[in-house]
Amino acid sequence: MEKISAAITAVGGYVPEYRLTNTELEKMVDTNDEWIKTRTGIEERRILKEPGLGSSDMAVEAVKVLLQKKNMHPNEIECLICATVTPDMTFPATANIICDKLGASQSFGYDIEAACSGFLYALTTGAALIESGRYKKVVVVGVDKMSSIIDYSDRATCIIFGDGAGAVLLEPTTDGTGIKDSLLRSDGSGRQYLHMKAGGSVKPPSIETVMAKEHFVYQEGQTVFKFAVKGMADVSYELMQRNNLTADDIAWLVPHQANLRIIDATANRMNLPKEKVMINIQKYGNTTAGTLPLCLWEWESKLKKGDNLVLAAFGGGFTWGATWVKWSY
């Protein structure tokens, strides 16, 4: 029997309209445009401002884009996996809410939480559902409304993050393209450097936790930076090695957009020139689980069937990984 692989057959994306620029941040915290640009590469980020809207609303817009491209009814979706650290609610899963809002009544869905590596974890899991032969149409979403957990008086974090969503459709193929390999890692001992202090079962929300601002992202930037540079570059290199891929074989590096310096370090380790690296951090900042599918969405028209893509990420957990995709259309 021919081996079934999971092909990405459509991509959708959505970013909110509101642009939070570096100049505007200068009025909110002690920072400046020059510092932000040279240290991170970010010029602006998108923010979902409308009250009452959450991650699911951005995800719905992203999925609608891909359904339209495929002329597909929401009822054709068999499974929807949503990667996010900013679910609409603690429960039920945001995937369920997305399916409801889309009218995807024949689908089951669940969330995966692996912070900035969430999309890679979800993509690998979704691919396995397709490869098993049991499912033919799986949607994988990466979405975060980071503005809902950012303290806009903390200059160490508020300059980095933004809101956005991306989604891909996975379908079976036997033509040799699709998701070829994945190397995923996690190390929970890294949680001390990047986490949210309260709101979980260890420290449930209380007046005290709110007053202490413990429902925001806490990050020790320098330490995370060091782990990220090593983790993302090492795993990408290892993925190339074990699949005998050289820099010439790779058409595109699709890196998590956390910091331009981390992206550069990964590209250097893989020996890839800048022209082969997808970079949109200057426009959107770090949208956590949204960065990778948002890159695919923006670059979709430049991709050709058979192109080798390496997707790479590092984030809270710590979680990190790299995935080799042979583009299918």
**Which residues are known catalytic residues?**
116, 256, 286
| Per-residue contact flags (x/-) with ligand UT7 for residues 203 to 222, judged by CB under 6 A | ------------------xx
* Among 220, 284, 270, 265, residue whose Cα is nearest residue 21: 284
Identify the bridge partners of residue 110 per DSSP, sorted by sequence position.
Answer: 81
What separation, in Å, do the N-terminal and C-terminal C-alpha atoms of the chain show? 23
Pick the binder of ligand UT7 from 4, 18, 19, 31 (CB under 6 A).
Answer: 31
From candidates 5, 9, 22, 40, binder to ligand UT7 by CB under 6 A: 40
Backbone phi and psi for residue 214, each to the nearest 5 degrees, phi listed first: -95, 10
Give the footprint of ligand UT7 on residues 148-177 (CB under 6 A): 155-156, 159-160
**What's the rounded Cα separation, in Å, for the pair 120 and 137?**
18
Among residues 321, 17, 38, the alpha carbon closest in space to that of 185 is found at 321
* By CB under 6 A, residue 294 contacts ligand UT7: no
Residues of span 110-149 touching ligand UT7 by CB under 6 A: 116
Of 136 and 195, the one with the shorter C-beta distance to ligand UT7 is 195
126 or 315: CB nearest ligand UT7: 315
Q: Answer yes or no: are the C-beta atoms of 48 and 163 closer than 8 Å.
A: yes
Query: Contact 111/142 with Cβ under 8 angstroms?
Result: no
Beta-carbon contacts of residue 81 (< 8 Å; ≥ 6 apart): 95, 109, 110, 111, 112, 122, 125, 126, 138, 139, 140, 141
Q: Is 86 in the site for ligand UT7 (CB under 6 A)?
A: no
Return the number of the residue (60 or 295) whose C-beta is nearest ligand UT7. Answer: 295
Candidate residues 193, 225, 284, 327; the one interacting with ligand UT7 per rule CB under 6 A = 225
Selected from 286, 287, 319, 323, the binder of ligand UT7 by CB under 6 A is 286
Q: For binding to ligand UT7 (CB under 6 A), which residues are involved?
A: 31, 35, 39-40, 116, 155-156, 159-160, 221-222, 224-225, 228, 258-259, 262, 286, 315
